[in-house]
Structure 1
């Protein structure tokens, strides 16, 4: 059974299935006048859910090809490889991610697994590595032998490989994944046999980008979304393997922010994502966290918030709450404009002048149809519009 991420879907569910779906807190499930028929709305995630023998596919409003590309996009991915996105158009999300992740891992590990130095502790009578004096005094004060040591091992058991292994393992546990991909996942896992399990407590911490792991970035980004999609299901109380749900709002925000950061850097702009330390009131009790803050030489130029919502021609004005939020960001930053970035077709930006403050809120729509190159080009054009003619202006004070 399939439900749409956009709008509402009418589905046949048992009472227990409807209750379980509502308990997962990613959609609203409302009973209709017909017994056993339910209305599903306000869907905030896409993927697959298993409910008492029923396989429920949440179909994204974004084309799968674009979705996978946005999830895998990284600074090292200069050229787009169409083969990575050649899966069937009607594939569900776990299948599409499995196909793309395997391809990305194959490209990343073509010359073998990444290796690095990992510190490990050892107790020995033979001194090698570094003597950990603090640990020696704590464990056996006044006793010279055995010696507490710290060794730097050159190994494949690094954070990057642990993340890839965890994503492969998570996908291999998915129910009803096509046999072909299950076999390929099993083969790929063999390569990571000497890599330890990843322990995730809270949000996944990604290794910092470096010259050594740049070729791993597309695979790591895909792996991150796989791990989040499966770990969220466990946190929501579903049974193991019964749900694979991806937060498309986060994917859209990260993709747009990453492209803006890369495209504006050459002009001297800094792009901060999920900016912290912003407060609306003097006492700091009303906190804010704008998605995108563009600054130059330490001064904020403009603020933008991504909205994974359809908006465009015929949609009317943006929701009032979105405009209020953008206005609060602009007033706090002391800038004349703030921007709302929606998902939709090719429509002209709409400007809303707030008379009381002299602030303009601009609503944009970014189409997610087309090729990966077209997606990047649209966001780059958006970056030029956001920085605009204010490159040389000092625009307000720090919101801190």
Structure 2
């Protein structure tokens, strides 16, 4: 049975297609992937749900659907949002080097290019503590384990530091290379490059299926691995679709939730810009409570602190602000945040807006001001970062020391 190829844009009115019951079941096997609305004559309207990427789905009768979810942003602009880091920002060159129009080939190509540049300087080695039983003494004897033994004193329980390539950084990189090489939609030349680079990591243990990627800490020694590791973590995160108990066997691909991408970029870029105003941004704090009894928790996107005291709150909205005022539920949300945190002002940051400039909305009888801002994600990277810096200036000015 041949695979059905479907292309759906991330947002917009969608497209009308004639689908079989098996194909509909395949699309519904991952809830929230797309929006499906039945029409007459076996036709369905498919529209995006703020997700982008490529996913291969299998229906209960064996039919396959290859679903392309295209972003409304240019792929190069989206790659910049994904790759941005204030501590080690990537230059536009490696982002614009990806010539593919589809997201997954572009991400795989960027991973291959970045990993190749990283490994050209050699595979990073480090010291790893090893505990094992040997016929000779190496390092230190594990005295407690050795004394519990009876009979011959061999083998000896020892602990030693081994200088090896089998370290966290290489395990993350190897896992991402192997996963990207097996994803659908990756061009054959890129797939061969990814596998060749994986072969360079001889002596590195691959992650077991389902094992979460280990955590790594940026240091002076692994600085040159930084760009490759950030991209590897993107590929290895939950955004890479692999068979689980909740998805049918054979389901795989690469998927991004665009609100998460936008929130992360605002967190990193705005946080870096506000740090120049001596303001610290704390993201997704879970300890805040809305009620006096502490039963109702809430998790703001960003709480801004100055000298350890909260001064404002920011919520990122991956949507276009289409009117002079934000939607009522957005204002309610910020009003609740500001009230619970005892703050006079909060900020909404939208991904785009039809009106120019920020707008203030003073809540009656509350004395709380909610300001709506917008960032144009289609701007070139330097212009977008300048817009973020201007946003930080406005927020800092509205919340003086």
Same fold (TM over 0.5): yes
Q: In the alignment, is the contact (CA less than 8 A) between 2:54 and 2:104 conserved in 1?
A: yes
Rounded to whole Å, the distance in 1 between the matches of 2:284 and 2:214 is 15
Aligned to 1:216: 225
Q: In the alignment, is the contact (CA less than 8 A) between 1:229 and 1:244 conserved in 2?
A: no
Aligned to 1:69: 80
- Within the alignment, does 1:113 sit opposite 2:89 as a pair? no
Per-residue deviation, 1:167: 1.3
Aligned to 2:133: 123
Q: 1:317 aligns with which of 325, 329, 333?
A: 325
CA separation of 1:258 and 1:21: change in aligned 2, threshold 3 A: same
Per-residue deviation, 1:66: 1.4
Rounded to whole Å, the distance in 1 between the matches of 2:340 and 2:153 is 60
Aligned to 1:9: 14
Q: In the alignment, is the contact (CA less than 8 A) between 1:229 and 1:247 conserved in 2?
A: no
Cα-to-partner distance string for 1:37-78 (whole Å, 9 max, x where unaligned): 212346132111224343221011222111111211223434
Aligned to 1:84: 95
Secondary structure at 1:109 match in 2: helix
Q: In the alignment, is the contact (CA less than 8 A) between 2:313 and 2:337 conserved in 1?
A: yes
Cα-to-partner distance string for 1:292-322 (whole Å, 9 max, x where unaligned): 121111011211112222x23x445333332
Secondary structure at 1:234 match in 2: coil
Moved more, 107-116 or 297-306: 107-116
Rounded to whole Å, the distance in 2 between the matches of 1:42 and 1:153 is 50
Aligned to 1:261: 271
Per-residue deviation, 1:136: 4.5
CA separation of 1:389 and 1:353: change in aligned 2, threshold 3 A: closer
Rounded to whole Å, the distance in 2 between the matches of 1:344 and 1:134 is 64
CA separation of 1:242 and 1:115: change in aligned 2, threshold 3 A: same
CA separation of 1:60 and 1:15: change in aligned 2, threshold 3 A: same
Cα-to-partner distance string for 1:217-273 (whole Å, 9 max, x where unaligned): 222222122112564443441434633212222222222211223223343222212
Rounded to whole Å, the distance in 2 between the matches of 1:198 and 1:267 is 42
Aligned to 1:282: 292
Q: In the alignment, is the contact (CA less than 8 A) between 2:105 and 2:185 conserved in 1?
A: no
CA separation of 1:284 and 1:131: change in aligned 2, threshold 3 A: farther
CA separation of 1:2 and 1:358: change in aligned 2, threshold 3 A: same
Rounded to whole Å, the distance in 2 between the matches of 1:323 and 1:176 is 42
Q: In the alignment, is the contact (CA less than 8 A) between 2:84 and 2:90 conserved in 1?
A: no
Rounded to whole Å, the distance in 1 between the matches of 2:115 and 2:224 is 10
Map of 1:132-147 to 2, 5 A cutoff? 132-136=142-146, 140=149, 146-147=155-156
Rounded to whole Å, the distance in 1 between the matches of 2:150 and 2:372 is 66
Aligned to 2:3: none
CA separation of 1:322 and 1:115: change in aligned 2, threshold 3 A: farther
Aligned to 2:306: 296
Secondary structure at 1:194 match in 2: coil
Indicate the RMSD between aligned Cα atoms, in angstroms: 2.6
Aligned to 1:58: 69
What's the TM-score, normalizing by structure 1?
Answer: 0.88
Rounded to whole Å, the distance in 2 between the matches of 1:359 and 1:202 is 46
Rounded to whole Å, the distance in 2 between the matches of 1:282 and 1:203 is 37
Q: In the alignment, is the contact (CA less than 8 A) between 1:10 and 1:37 conserved in 2?
A: no
Q: In the alignment, is the contact (CA less than 8 A) between 1:29 and 1:38 conserved in 2?
A: no
Q: In the alignment, is the contact (CA less than 8 A) between 1:301 and 1:387 conserved in 2?
A: no
Q: In the alignment, is the contact (CA less than 8 A) between 1:108 and 1:215 conserved in 2?
A: yes
Cα-to-partner distance string for 1:74-116 (whole Å, 9 max, x where unaligned): 234346142432333x621110101111122223333112222
